[in-house]
Amino acid sequence: MFDSFILIIELLMLLLALGIATVKTVRQMIRLYQFQCYLLAAIALLTIYASKIQPAWLFVIVLIPIFLAAFIEILLAHATVSGGETGSSVTRSLFYPKAWPQTREQAARIWLQDRPEVRGGAWIIFVNFLLIGGAFVIAGVLQAGAANEASRMQLNSLSKSGYLAVSLSLLLLGIAVMINKEDIISQIIGLLVSEHGMFLVAIRAITTASDRLANLYPTVLAFFVISLFAYTLITLILLIVLLPNLHRTSGHIEVDSQKELRG
């Protein structure tokens, strides 16, 4: 029952990823991504709660998707509007919450003007479904391998297959978003969707590890958590340091404007 419930939430995440891949405005993408973050946080919370060993600090990983959901819009908005500003004023506006509504409004106008073009139109939906199908096939093959050795591995194969298929799908859909959409904000969102796939596997690995391995050496769980935080750190560096400067020098959020280097 519990596994089925988790699986439903995971499939909802997958639907949202499909939505992200097909919607046409940045704002819609951000909204769907934020919703996906909350679902991921719910999965993390439930999975950790249900696992047999629950070190209290393990719950800190729930904070990562919640943090990203809460701040992603302002970070992206800040990166978008900082096109003509100097470095210091950009930083000031980011760390001054009263300026956020204005930043959001300015960014929304730019996002409406520079709508991310989706390459390929209808066939991209077909490709997305193909990617999901491929992910489920790989997971299915693995499940078959696991079922043959079920007694040895003592795996809950249904749940394992579910998380694996959804994780791989999110990973591939994220990459598809990065390739298909023509603006750097969408590339970031695509990267973050892929990151959700990794996060999902990590949550399962952490909780499986806590069941099976915590009696050996629980610090391994801490390393997983650190690795997730390390990944979030990179995302933040992208958003806070690199993106505003890139936007400032090129004057655009479109990928086509970032093709000076070729060959």
Partner 1 sequence: MSLLLQEKIRIILVAVVVLAPIIVALAPLAFGRKLKPLCIATVIGSFLTLLASFLLALGGAEKPLQFYFLFNFYIDDLSIFFILLVNLVALFASLYTHNFLSYDSRHNPHHNPAYFHIFFNFFHLTMLIVPMVDNLILLWIAVELTTVVSTLLVRYRGDRPALEAAWKFIIITTTGIIFALLGTLFLTSAITEQTQEILISLPIKAVDPMRWSILAREAIAKTLDPQFIRLSFLFVLIGYGTKAGLAPMHTWLPDGHGEAPSPVSALLSGVMLKSALYAILRFYTITNLSETANGRSNAYTSNLLLIAGVLSLFLATLFILKPNRFKRVLAYHSLEHMGIITLGIGVGTPIALFTALLHALNHALTKALMFLAFGYIQNEYGDRLPQREETLQSGERIQGVLSAMPITGIILLSGGLALVGSPPFNIFMSEFMILWAATQKLKDTNQIMMYAAVIIFLLTITIIFGGLVNHISRLLLDRPPFPPIEPRLSSLVNIAPFALLLALILLFGFVIPQFPVNFPQLLTRSAEIIVNGVVSP
Name the residue nearer to partner 1 (CB basis): 124 or 188: 188
CB of 194 to partner 1, least distance (A): 5
Name the residue nearer to partner 1 (CB basis): 23 or 168: 168
Name the residue nearer to partner 1 (CB basis): 113 or 154: 154
Name the residue nearer to partner 1 (CB basis): 97 or 263: 263
Name the residue nearer to partner 1 (CB basis): 112 or 158: 158
CB of 102 to partner 1, least distance (A): 25
Cβ-proximal residues to 196 (8 Å cutoff; 6+ apart), any chain: 13, 17, 36, 37, 40, 65, 170, 174
Alpha-carbon Rg for the chain, nearest whole angstrom, is 20
Rounded Cα–Cα distance for residues 136 and 15 (Å)? 14
> What single-letter amino acid sits at 238?
L
49 in Cβ contact with 130 (< 8 Å)? no
For the chain, the helix, strand and coil percentages under 3-state DSSP, each to the nearest 5: 85, 0, 15
Q: Which has the closest alpha carbon to 198: 153, 164, 239?
A: 164
Residues that bind partner 1 (CB under 8 A): 138, 141-142, 145-146, 149, 152-154, 160, 167, 171, 174-175, 178, 184, 187, 191, 194-195, 197-198, 201-202, 205, 208-209, 212-213, 216-217, 219-220, 223-224, 226-227, 230-231, 233-234, 237-238, 241-243, 245-246, 249-250, 258, 260-261, 263
CB of 257 to partner 1, least distance (A): 9
Rounded Cα–Cα distance for residues 142 and 154 (Å)? 14
DSSP string, 211-256: HHTTTT-THHHHHHHHHHHHHHHHHHHIIIIIHHHHHHHH---BGG
Name the residue nearer to partner 1 (CB basis): 99 or 146: 146
């070190």: which residue's tokens?
55
CB of 97 to partner 1, least distance (A): 27
CB of 208 to partner 1, least distance (A): 7
CB of 259 to partner 1, least distance (A): 8
